[in-house]
């Protein structure tokens, strides 16, 4: 027993050299933090400039900054790997170093990193600017995803018109960038392997820090499958009743273009068809919002009031000064998909959303403000922690907020 205690004492004794190394690593990260924040801020500003006004110049500036940052973080990772950080006592320090030595795409060579960034940029630009012709009107070919096609998929009940928009948009959004996508998949896999993963999928899953994550997802899907199959069958029945058996089969899949959404991910917009009680008025405050002359700003102000009523942080003045809450009328191309942004500076958070005066966008505004609250709540943390607890957490926060806001009691206000 005495011998065992002696071994434990020796193992637990402090190592002066390791302690000095740990203190040095702490000092290095402290000195590094302002530089990381400044680089993240600059990269985010350039991304914002590009997505707010798509041009070759703004694209070049964004991609050049991405390449510079990749080289910077590659050098940081090289220096941090000089430390035997897995032997450090400070768990937080070990975690911060591990996150900084995980290079992601920056692990690629400089040329391949540029190829990857360029491929992603071409896909993003094509997605944001893709246009289709109006149904049965080839003289008007300026229908973009936001707001024209989104509204058409939500409101039209002509199956051929819906099919036209769904098919044509997927052609113009996908076909031109097929080679870019192939290149992206190849380089994504290579980057994953350089980070000691076997595939891009394995690398993405690693961010959840749970070896049983896939099994948990499979179990959750199996748990809700019986309910989903019943809902699917019911919706298919109602759509078949509305459109006829020639368009919607009795037992086959539901044609996705009939579901009120370009991706079939949300079926809210076909509630007028699927409601089990047609004589009961649907909960949709869109008309009332229009009648009361709501503006995009008012929708976000109500969202701000919602969060402050929960004793959360009020939106800073810069949010209102710098956000884009409506589609600009100057004809510029921009990424209209709603998004929330953290600029890695105190209280510099923004939203870019081509807001329509609809109940759906009212919920979306609250969803995006959920992201903003998350940014504000963790802005005091080191830069490596200024992200969701895992890749799904931000969306979970936003959707929980949207669910709360969608209650009839809240909408009556």
**Residue of 202, 368, 387, 412 marked catalytic:** 368
Contact 94, 88 (CB under 8 A): yes
Read off φ and ψ for residue 382, nearest 5 degrees.
-55, 155
Closest CA to 120 of 196, 50, 170: 50
Question: Is 395 marked within a binding site?
Answer: yes
What is the C-alpha to C-alpha distance for residues 327 and 314, in angstroms, rounded to an integer? 24
Distances (CA, A) of 326 to 128, 231, 335, 354: 16, 35, 12, 4
Instruction: Reply yes or no on whether 82 is catalytic.
Output: no
Read off φ and ψ for residue 339, nearest 5 degrees.
-150, 150
| Distance linking the first and last C-alpha atoms of the chain | 72
Question: Is 208 marked within a binding site?
Answer: yes
Question: Is 294 marked within a binding site?
Answer: no
- Strand, coil or helix: 363: helix
Closest CA to 42 of 58, 66, 25: 66
Give the residue carrying structure tokens 């769904």: 166
Tokens for 134?
Answer: 């109006």
Question: Is 366 marked within a binding site?
Answer: no
Q: Which residues are catalytic?
A: 368
**Residues at the annotated binding site?**
208, 367, 371, 395
**Residues at the annotated binding site for chloride?**
208
């Amino acid at each position: 027993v005495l011998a065992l205690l002696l071994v434990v004492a020796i193992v637990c004794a402090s190592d002066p050299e390791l302690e000095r190394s740990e203190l040095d690593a702490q000092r290095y990260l402290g000195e590094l933090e302002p530089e990381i924040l400044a680089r993240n801020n600059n990269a985010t500003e350039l991304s914002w400039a590009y997505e707010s006004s798509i041009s070759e110049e703004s694209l070049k500036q964004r991609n050049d900054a991405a390449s510079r940052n990749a080289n910077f973080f590659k050098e940081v990772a090289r220096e941090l790997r000089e430390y035997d950080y897995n032997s450090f006592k400070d768990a937080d320090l070990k975690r911060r170093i591990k996150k900084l030595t995980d290079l992601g795409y920056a692990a690629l060579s400089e040329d391949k990193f540029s190829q990857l960034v360029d491929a992603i940029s071409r896909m993003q630009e094509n997605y944001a600017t893709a246009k289709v012709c109006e149904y049965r009107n080839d003289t008007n070919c300026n229908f973009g995803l936001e707001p024209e096609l989104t509204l058409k998929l939500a409101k039209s009940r002509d199956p051929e018109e819906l099919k036209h928009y769904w098919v044509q948009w997927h052609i113009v959004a996908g076909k031109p960038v097929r080679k870019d996508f192939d290149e992206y998949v190849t380089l994504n896999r290579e980057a994953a392997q350089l980070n000691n993963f076997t595939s891009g999928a394995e690398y993405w899953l690693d961010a959840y820090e749970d070896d049983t994550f896939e099994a948990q997802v499979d179990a959750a899907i199996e748990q809700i499958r019986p309910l989903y199959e019943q809902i699917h069958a019911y919706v298919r029945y109602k759509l078949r009743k509305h459109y006829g058996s020639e368009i919607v089969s009795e037992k086959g899949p539901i044609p996705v273009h009939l579901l009120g959404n370009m991706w079939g991910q949300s079926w809210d917009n076909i509630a007028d068809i699927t409601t089990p009680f047609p004589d009961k008025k649907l909960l949709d405050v869109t008309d009332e919002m229009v009648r009361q002359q709501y503006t995009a700003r008012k929708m976000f102000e109500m969202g701000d009031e919602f969060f402050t009523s929960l004793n959360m942080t009020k939106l800073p003045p810069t949010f209102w000064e710098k956000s884009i809450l409506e589609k600009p009328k100057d004809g510029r191309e921009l990424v209209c998909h709603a998004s929330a942004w953290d600029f890695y500076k105190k209280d510099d958070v923004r939203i870019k959303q081509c807001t329509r005066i609809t109940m759906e966008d009212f919920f979306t505004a609250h969803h995006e403000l959920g992201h903003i609250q998350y940014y504000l709540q963790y802005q005091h943390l080191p830069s490596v922690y200024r992200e969701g607890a895992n890749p799904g957490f931000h969306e979970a926060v936003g959707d929980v907020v949207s669910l709360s806001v969608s209650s009839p009691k809240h909408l009556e206000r």
